[in-house]
Amino acid sequence: MNALNPNATIAQLYYLFIYADGEVDEKEKQYGQYLIEIEQLNGVLFNKELERLENEVIDKNKLLEECVAVLVKLEKRVQLRYIAWMCVIANSDGFMSSEEWKLVYQFYHVKLKIPHDELLTEQTNIKREIGQKIKGVV
């Protein structure tokens, strides 16, 4: 388990979401870069964890439970931010697959009990930040 390492946890969530539907889209990769930049993550550690996950045989159900075990120890605002990012990334290709939606639902509703309206508001905030980044404002 990754204890309370935010770089590892967010990389693991990102991995679960980008591979949920079996296809990694270029926009999902680009949004992963926005995630690193906007959240000021350690890109080296994030990418190292992502590479580890991509190169190992991963039990995705076990990884999901490990992520939940870490997330429940984090502040609610951090939980909300992380899951909102995953929603934005899952939608970055213009479509959230049923597999991605099931994963989102598992995290925000079943495991973390995040109110849906708060999740939508945070997604809007993140999209605005991405828009500013794209325009070079940030």
74 phi and psi angles, rounded to 5 deg: -90, 160
Torsion from C-alpha of 21, 37, 61, 52, nearest 10 degrees: 100
Give percent of the chain above pLDDT 70: 94
Q: What is the spatial distance between Cα 44 and Cα 11, in angstroms, rounded to a whole number?
A: 11
CB 39 within 8 A of CB 10: yes
Residue 2 has pLDDT above 50, yes or no: no
Identify the band that residue 4 occupies on the pLDDT scale cut at 50, 70 and 90: low
Rg of the chain, C-alpha, whole Å: 14
How does pLDDT run across 16-53, given as a tens digit for each residue?
A: 999 998 888 999 999 999 999 999 999 999 999 999 99
Torsion angle defined by CA atoms of residues 69, 12, 37 and 23, in that order, rounded to the nearest 10 degrees? -140
The tokens of 100 are what?
A: 């991605």
For domain 6-135, the CATH architecture is: Orthogonal Bundle (1.10)
What is the pTM for the complete model shown? 0.90
Q: How confident is the model at residue 137 (pLDDT cuts 50, 70, 90)?
A: low
Residue 130 scores a pLDDT above 60: yes
Query: Distance between CA 94 and CA 104 in Å, rounded?
Result: 16
pLDDT digits (tens, 9 = 90+) for 113-127: 999 999 999 999 999
Q: Which amino acid is at 134?
A: I
Size of the chain, expressed as the number of residues it contains: 138
pLDDT in the model for residue 78: 94
Per DSSP, which regions of 7-133 are E strands? Answer: none
φ, ψ (nearest 5 deg) of residue 34: -60, -40
